[in-house]
Structure formats: C-alpha cells, structure tokens
Chains A and B, each alone.
Chain A
Amino acid sequence: ETGVTQSPTHLIKTRGQQVTLRCSSQSGHNTVSWYQQALGQGPQFIFQYYREEENGRGNFPPRFSGLQFPNYSSELNVNALELDDSALYLCASSLKGAAGELFFGEGSRLTVL
C-alpha cells in the first residue's frame, strides 16, 4: 500500500510569484484535503476535493486553488504569494465517508521571501 506523497519537499519563492504543490493520495482513497500549517500552529483546513470537484473550503482567499485528477492525485496552486503564505502545506487523503481518518503526507515547506 503506497502512502501519501507530496512534492516538492522544500521550495523558496518570492513575493508575487505563483506556486504549485503536488500530492499523490494513498492507494484506494478518493478524497484529498489540503492544510496549511504555520510555525507553532495546528494544521488549518484549506479545501477538500472529491470526484475532481471542490467539496468544502476553509477561510482562504480565492488565490488558493486546487485540482483533483481522475487518479485522485491533486494540486494546490497559490497565486500572488505573500510573505504570510510561508508554511508547511500538508496533503491528506481519505475515503469519502470515513469519519475523519486522514492519512497525511510529509508536507511541502514553502518559504516566501
């Protein structure tokens, strides 16, 4: 069974740039959720994708967008990067209907200068 994998593991961008983060879900999982974890904070829900459509969104502006592909992998895109976007971005996969059991990746550490 393959776990959740994320890429890249680390990246540095400058303010105003755009970034794409990628996630491969665990085998058999059909739902992907993205979280932002700032230093010293708990993960904060960005959005969730199920059947290639957004299925819930947290309190994040529209410049945070995502995609889910037919193989259930997913992308998180952030436009017009701001310094406060510096964080660990976590992807989690799950089965639709599974009561909150998320399987997390190791995350992508984004630094915005």
Chain B
Amino acid sequence: AQRVTQPEKLLSVFKGAPVELKCNYSYSGSPELFWYVQYSRQRLQLLLRHISRESIKGFTADLNKGETSFHLKKPFAQEEDSAMYYCAGGSQGNLIFGKGTKLSVKP
C-alpha cells in the first residue's frame, strides 16, 4: 500500500539551529513528493515539491530513492518557521499525506 510516514509528531529547536523534518514513503512507481505547511490560523499551503528542486523560505528537500526518503531541511531555523508540516506523495490532487510534524522554534 502507498504510504507516507512522518516519524516525529513534534520537533522543538532553538532559533538558529538546523532543522530536519523526516519523511519516508512507500510507493510503487515514481512518486511525486511535496511538503505542505500550515501556519497558525492559516490554511494548508504548498511549501515545495521535489520536481522543482527549489529552496523556499530557506527550506530544501531532496528525494533519496535508495532510502525512500524526502526529508525537509533548513540550516538555520527562524521563529516564524513554527508550524505544522505535512509530507505528501501522489499526483493530480490525489495526495497521500503523512500525519504531520509540528515544528516549534524557540527564541
């Protein structure tokens, strides 16, 4: 079965520390993978997608097919990065989401 796993429910770091939010996937074929973010009192929104290989708000994510992972990284966390982060896989709107990781960046 296709699955997206985020092993951490909560990740707490201090401002300026590196951040890595883990995501592992189980998929047949070549998955399209995404990170979505939900800031406090805002709607769920796309942060980045693996096919773009882009950096958004300092975040990057590399698809590692050998480890079936798509971890989200940022070298220096900011307080405004505090949010709920969801890893998702799939295509064309039919996405499978992980359970999410709450990132808390402390001053």
Residues of chain A having any CB pair with chain B under 8 Å: 3-4, 31, 33, 35, 40-45, 48, 56, 58, 90, 92, 94, 96-97, 99-107
Contacts and interface: CB of A to CB of B under 8 A. Distances in A.
A104 B44 contact: yes
B99 A99 contact: no
Interface band, chain B: 20 to 34
A100 B45 contact: no
Interface in B24-65: 32, 34, 36, 43-46, 49, 51
Contacts of A97: 92
Given A42-B86, A99-B32, A100-B32, A33 B98 contact: no
Contacts of A44: 97
Interface string B61-98: 00000000000000000000000001010111111111
Contacts of A45: 90, 94-96
Given A41-B99, A42-B98, A100 B86 contact: no
A77 B23 CA distance: 33
Contacts, number: 68
B88 A100 contact: yes
A99 B46 contact: no
A100 B44 contact: no
A79 to B, nearest CB: 23
B100 A105 contact: no
Contacts of A102: 36, 46, 93, 95
A101 B94 contact: no
B94 A58 contact: yes
B92 A90 contact: no
A31 B46 CA distance: 16
A70 B45 CA distance: 26
B94 A56 contact: yes
B99 A40 contact: yes
- Which residue, of B92, B98, B100, has the highest number of chain A Cβ atoms within 10 A? B92
